[in-house]
Chains A and B, each alone.
Chain A
C-alpha cells in the first residue's frame, strides 16, 4: 500500500499535524500494523519536497510535530491519478502451501493431513475475523470482509486440491520418475495422468 498517497488522501479533508495524521491512519488502516512516527515524518518530508503538501502553520515549541501540513493542488491531482490506477491483481503462484503439498506428495507423506491442518488453521482465522466483523464498525467490516474473501479463495483451492489428490499424486510421481524432456513439454505429464484417473 502507498502510505504517501494514503496520507495525502487523509489530508484532503483539511490541514493536520503529523501526529493527527498518524492517528487517523492507524484508526482506519493500521489494524494490525500501526505506522511508526519515523515513517510518517519521512513520508511527509518527501511529499513536501515534491510539492504535494505544504506547511500550513507552525505551532511554537520543540519537535517535528510543530508543523501543520496541507495538501496542494498538485497533491490533489496525485491522489486523482493514484485512484485512477487499478491495483495490480495479486497472483499467488508461489505459495508456501503449494510447496508443502508438492513435497508431501513427492515424499509419500499425507497430503490430506497437510490440507486438513491448513483448513483448520484458515477457519480459525476466519472465525476471528467474523467475530471482529460482527462487533466492529463499517471500516472493520470492510477490512475483515476483504481478508475473509481471500481466505475463502484459499479454502476453495484446498477443497479442489483435496478432490484431485489422487490425480495430483500420480502426476507428481510420474513427473519425478519420467526421463527429462525439453522445457515446455513437461506439463503434458500432468494433464494426461489426470485424464486417465
Chain B
C-alpha cells in the first residue's frame, strides 16, 4: 500500500498560494501559457485530448505516490479521479496541474510538454489556463470575498475596477453575490466553497482542478457546489479534473479514472 496522504498534506497549503499568487515570469507574453492556446501544435493522445499524462512516477522520500499513472482529459470533459485515501489521486492531480513535478513520465497540455517546463513557465500556465478548488476554500481571510475572487485576475494584470466587476459577476453565477463585501470568516462553509469556485472560474480557465471540493460540506451543500461547478464548467467549456472518494460527487463527471496504489486502472477488458 502506497501512501501519498502525508505528501498531499504537505503540498496542499502551498498549492493555493502557488496557484493564485505565482510570480509573473519575464516571458509571460510568449511563454507556455500563450503557447498553450496554440491548438495547431501536435496533440498527444486521442484527437481532442487537452491534457495527458503517461507513466507518471513520483516518490516522496520512502513513499511511492505514483507508480506508473496514465490518463488523459479531453477539452470540456469532466473526469473524476477516484480511489481510496493514499492511492495517489491527489498527487496525480498536482502533477497534471504542474504544481508537483513527477520523477518520471510525461505530461502534455495542449500539445506542449509540461514536464519539461521551468517553474516560471508552469506557474504562468497555472495562472493563465487553470483554475483551482480545494477541500477547504483557501480564501485569504483578510480580503473580502469579491477581492478573493478578483485576486487571480489582478495577478494576471487586469485593472482593479474591471477585476472587481468580473469577480462580482462570477459570484452571481454561483449565487453568492450577496456575500461579495463579507470576509471569508463571516460566511458559511457552503458559501465559502462557492466563493472558491467563483475564484477558480473568474479567469475563464480551460481546466479546473478540484481536489475534494465538497469534502468539508454536508450532503445538501455538497450537491449544490457540484451542480454549480459542473454547470459553470459546461457553460464555459472548461474541462474539470475532480479528485473525490465520494461516488455521488463522481456521478457529476463524464467519466472516472480509478487510482489504486499509485497506478491508474484502465478497467477489465
Binding site for B on A (CB under 8 A): 110, 112-113, 116-117, 119-120, 122-123, 126-127, 129-130, 134, 148-149, 151-152, 155-156, 159, 162-163
Is the Cβ of A152 less than 8 Å from the Cβ of B248?
A: yes
Main DSSP-derived SS at the A contact region: helix
Measured in the bound complex, the distance between the Cα atoms of B226 and A126 in whole Å is 14
Is the Cβ of A130 less than 8 Å from the Cβ of B268?
A: no
Partner of B268, one of A116, A149, A151: A116
Partner of A113, one of B250, B252, B268: B268
Contacts of A129 on B, CB cut-off 8 Å? 251
Q: Using CB atoms, name the residue of chain B closest to A125.
A: B251
In whole Å, how far is B37's beta carbon from the nearest beta carbon of chain A?
A: 31
Is the Cβ of A130 less than 8 Å from the Cβ of B251?
A: yes
Is the Cβ of A126 less than 8 Å from the Cβ of B247?
A: yes
Partner of A117, one of B247, B250, B251, B267: B267
| A/B pair count, beta carbons within 8 Å | 45
Measured in the bound complex, the distance between the Cα atoms of B254 and A156 in whole Å is 20
Measured in the bound complex, the distance between the Cα atoms of B231 and A155 in whole Å is 25
9 shortest interchain CB distances as A-B pairs:
A126-B251, A113-B268, A130-B251, A155-B247, A152-B247, A127-B251, A116-B267, A116-B268, A152-B248
In whole Å, how far is B77's beta carbon from the nearest beta carbon of chain A?
A: 13
Is the Cβ of B265 less than 8 Å from the Cβ of A116?
A: yes
Measured in the bound complex, the distance between the Cα atoms of B4 and A194 in whole Å is 25
Partner of A151, one of B246, B247, B254, B256: B247
Measured in the bound complex, the distance between the Cα atoms of B252 and A122 in whole Å is 13
Partner of B256, one of A110, A123, A156, A163: A123
In whole Å, how far is B121's beta carbon from the nearest beta carbon of chain A?
A: 36
In whole Å, how far is B217's beta carbon from the nearest beta carbon of chain A?
A: 16
